[in-house]
Amino acid sequence: LPYTRKEIVSSKYIGSLIFTTIFVFMIYAGDFLINGKGDLFIWKEMLFIIGLVMVAISFMFPISYKFKTHYLLIALGVLLGIYMLTISLLVPINDILRELARKFLTLQEAQMYFLAILTTVILYIGSWLLSIRIYEKKVF
pTM above 0.75, yes or no: no
Q: What is the pLDDT of residue 38?
A: 64
Q: Which of 7-21, 25-39, 101-115 has the lowest mean pLDDT?
A: 101-115
Structural domain for 108, as ranges: 5-137
Answer for the pair 12, 61: CB distance below 8 angstroms, yes or no.
Answer: yes
For 37, the 3-state DSSP assignment is coil
Tell me what the pLDDT averaged over the chain comes to: 84
Q: What is the pLDDT of residue 19?
A: 95
* Residue of higher predicted confidence among 43 and 66: 66
- Count of domains in the chain? 1
Any alpha helices (H) in the chain, and if so which ranges? 5-35, 41-66, 69-85, 93-105, 110-137
Residues 65-112 pLDDT 10s: 888 888 888 888 998 998 888 777 766 667 777 888 787 777 767 777
